[in-house]
Structure 1
């Protein structure tokens, strides 16, 4: 397991648990992009590494929060329709919902593992607004 990832998780959780939510999302891991040198084996290796970081981050976040998250997949009744990925892990606190997900937007782009948080009592949040075509925060 990666000590660097553990440090990123701790820092991100501390920031996301703060009262003001000055930042609502952190990149925990990012592969290189594949614009100039697309090798299928290199891409598969990077994709698998991002998947490993995602799984490790689930463990670290659960340990830091003191309870396990819920893994949901697209098509599940509880999967957030505004999330543009196929799987995510969610942790529900009274005043924060944490969402860990990884995305690969296009074959040339990097694979990125994100930790996102929002206040579930707010009527809106950045990812939901982005899904609806609106670029406003809270």
Structure 2
């Protein structure tokens, strides 16, 4: 129940790592994915991730290993390790290029989105993210 609207809220979307659902989950399953819980990701979606990775050229063992890192779709954080992609992340981390490197390896034509920085500088203090674009 929302304290602001006197309405029951419904989950509409979820992600731990950006673009995982966009790349690996078929449109016909996006609602089921978005309404689901990460605890069901391995059983319900890992095989789809493996199949897509193999379609992108990875061998079965590599595809399975990477799919195991991507499902469940969560943002793991180990405070004993440095913050970086796949262990938390900093706002300026280029996670899409990082994900493309995982998927396509050394294929320079496919492993970089060529967006290297935010278009507006991040803040030095909380909330750290740049303000919204307002027209």
Alignment TM-score, normalising by the size of structure 2 = 0.30
Structure 1 length normalisation: TM-score?
A: 0.30
* Higher-Rg member (1/2): 2
Question: Whose RCO is larger (CA < 8 A, sep 6+)?
Answer: 1
